[in-house]
Amino acid sequence: MKKLFSNILFSVFIYLLTSFTSSINAQIKVIEIPGSDSTIVINIEEIKEEAKRIAKEAQKIAAEVQMEEMEEFIKIMVEAPELEEIEIHIDQEAIEAQIRKAEAQVKMHQAEIERAAREAQRPYHRMEYTNFVSSFKLDYNGKIALSEDEDEIKSISKDGKFVISKSTFGNKRKVSIKPDENGKLTYKFYVGNSEVPFDPDGKKWLTDILPEVIKSSTIAAESRLNNKMREGGVDKALRYISEISGQNNKITFYRLLISRKDISADELIKITKDVTRNVSSSSELSDYFKESFAIYNNKKGIDAYFNGIRQISSSYEKADCLTEIIETKDIRENFDEKHWELWLKTTQSITSSYEMAKTLQEAFNHDATGMPARTLEQSIKYISSSYEKANTIEAAFSEANRKKWSEDQNNALLLAAKSISSSYELKNTLEEALESWKYWSEETKNIFFHVASTISSSSDKSSLLSELEDYKIEHKSNIHNFYMSVRSITSSYDLSSVLEDIASSDYFHVGHYEEYLNATTSISSSYDMRDALEEIAPFIMKSKDDGLIQLYKEKAKLISSSYDREKAMEALER
C-alpha cells in the first residue's frame, strides 16, 4: 500500500511540474484513499494557486505514509520563483496508469465494504433450529433497529416484519411485529394457533426470548457493532462477537468490523487472530479471506491477512482461497514482491501435495513473474510427491511460460527439480525444461547439467543427455559441465551412447573435442570405449591439431583389450 501511495504522490508531483510549463486546462480527478478520510485532488488549471492546493493535499497523504523527503521537494517546487530553465519530461500514459491503478484499488475496497454491509442487511432472513425438545424459527426483513441495551425492538422499516416462534414439548408460542403505515409497531401474540393479547404474556415471552434471538442472528448488526465500539473499542467488539452463536453470523460481524475506517493495522492483527480462533469452519474462513483482500491490503495488514489464511485447516479450502486471490485480476495486478513472498509461504502450509501443486500451477497460468526465486524454489520443494512436484515444474516450463522467467527464477525451478526423488519423473521434468534452452543464461544451463547428473538411473540420465544433440552447447563452462554430467553415467554402454549421439549432432564442434576425449576414460568397457573413440576419430583428424591427435592416442592406449585398442588406433588413420 505504501508503494501505491508513493505512486499516487509521484503522480501529483508530476502534475505539479506540468502546471508550471503548460497552461492547458485538465479535468479534475478525485481519488479517495481507502481507510482514511483523505483524498487526492488533481487539477492543472490554475498554475501557482492549484500547485499550492495540490501540495497541501499531497502533504496530507505524505503524513500518513511518512514521505517527508517528497513532501519537502514539493514545497521547494511550489516556492521556486522561476522554473523556466528546468527541462521536464512528462510520461502522460504512466501518470494515467497510476491513477487508474489507484481508482481500481478504491473500487475494490469499496466493493468489499458494501458486500459486508449487504450481508448484514439482506432484505429477507430466515432461521430455523430444531432439536429433540424444541424448535425455533425466525423470519424477518427490512431494516430493524434495537434499543441500546438490545432488549427491545425500536423500529422496523416500512413493509418489514419480525416473526419469531418457538415450540417446546408441543407448546408453541409466536410473536409477529410489523410497522403500521405511520411506522408504529403492532404486536400479535399466538399460543398454539390462537391469537391472544400481547400484553402481558406475549410481552414477557418476547423479553425472555429476544436475547437468544439477537445472540443467534445478525439483526441490526451494524448498529450493534457501532454500540460496542463506542463502549470499548475493538476489544469490546471482539468480546461481543465471540458470544454470538453461529460461525456465519460471527463472520458477518467480523467483516463489518474490519470495514470500519477507524480500524488500524495493529487492530487488524488482533481481529484476524480472533477470527481464526472463533471460526473453525474452513469454508467460512476461506470465504472471509477471499472477500477481504483489499481491506487488509489498504490498511497495511497484509501480513495478518496471510497469517490468517495459514490457519485454515482444510487443504482444499486453503488452496481455493489462494487460487481465487490469484485469479482475481484487480488483486493480482497489485501484487508486489512482498505479496508474492507471503502468498508462496502460505502455500507451504498446504499439507496436501495435490492441492499445493494445483495452487502453484494455477499461479503459473497467470502472471507469476513477481515471485521471489528463493521462495519459489522452497515452495516447490515442500511438495512431498515426486509426481506432483514434477507436474508443477513442468507447468512452469510449459510453452506459455518459457519466456516469462528471470535467470534467478529459472535457476530456482531447476534446483527445485533436484529434490524429485524418482529418476523417471526427474528425467521427464528436465526434458520439459529443455524446451526453454534458448532462453537460458550460461549459469542456468550449468545448473541444468548439475541437476541432470543427480539422476540415479543410468538409462534415464543417458536418455536425457542424448536429447542435447538437438541443442547448441557453445560456452566453455557449459561444454565442461555437460561432459562432467555425462561422466557421471555409471553404465559404460549408456555413457558411450551419449557421446556417440553428441558426436553425430549438427552442433558438435572443435570446442567439444578435448572434453569428449577426457570423458571416454570414464567408460570401463573396452568395446564401448573403442566405439566412442571411433565416433570422434574423423573429427580429430580433420582438425589437424597435433595436441588433439596426441590426446586421442593417449586415451586409446588406455583400452584394456588389445584388439579394441588396435581398432581405435586404426580409426584415427582412416
Contacts of 488 (CB under 8 A, 6+ apart): 453, 461
pLDDT at 103: 53
Mean pLDDT of all residues in 312-340: 93
Contacts of 516 (CB under 8 A, 6+ apart): 483, 499, 502, 503, 536
The percent of residues above 70 in pLDDT, for the chain, comes to 77
| Residues in the chain, total | 574
Rounded distance between C-alpha atoms, residue 570 and residue 564, angstroms = 10
**Tens digit of each residue's pLDDT (9 = 90 or more) over 379-401:** 999 999 999 999 999 999 999 99
Element of type H or E holding 129: strand 124-130
Mean pLDDT of the residues in the chain: 84
Indicate if the pLDDT at residue 542 is higher than 80: yes
Where do we find the cell 495478518? 304
Rounded distance between C-alpha atoms, residue 143 and residue 285, angstroms = 27
Contacts of 338 (CB under 8 A, 6+ apart): 302
Cα 539–Cα 545–Cα 546 angle in degrees, nearest 5 = 125
The three-state secondary structure class of 85 is: coil
Radius of gyration of the chain from its Cα atoms, rounded to whole angstroms: 36
Nearest CA-CA partner of 144 in 255, 223, 260: 223
Question: What are the sequence ranges of the domains in the chain?
Answer: 2-90, 100-120+225-334, 124-219, 492-574
Q: What is the DSSP string of 360-397?
A: HHHHHTS--TTS-HHHHHHHHHT---HHHHHHHHHHHT
Please check whether residue 385 is in contact with residue 422, taking contact to mean a CB–CB distance below 8 angstroms. no
**Tens digit of each residue's pLDDT (9 = 90 or more) over 105-119:** 555 555 555 554 444
Please check whether residue 336 is in contact with residue 3, taking contact to mean a CB–CB distance below 8 angstroms. yes
Residue type, 331: I
Indicate if the pLDDT at residue 550 is higher than 50: yes
pLDDT at 94: 56
When comparing pLDDT for 40 and 347, which is higher? 347
The three-state secondary structure class of 39 is: strand
Report pTM: 0.72
The percent of residues above 90 in pLDDT, for the chain, comes to 63
For residue 100, name the pLDDT band (cuts at 50, 70, 90).
low
**Tens digit of each residue's pLDDT (9 = 90 or more) over 14-69:** 444 444 444 334 444 444 444 444 444 444 344 445 445 545 554 454 444 444 44
Please check whether residue 282 is in contact with residue 352, taking contact to mean a CB–CB distance below 8 angstroms. no
Please check whether residue 455 is in contact with residue 464, taking contact to mean a CB–CB distance below 8 angstroms. yes
Indicate if the pLDDT at residue 529 is higher than 50: yes
Indicate if the pLDDT at residue 120 is higher than 90: no
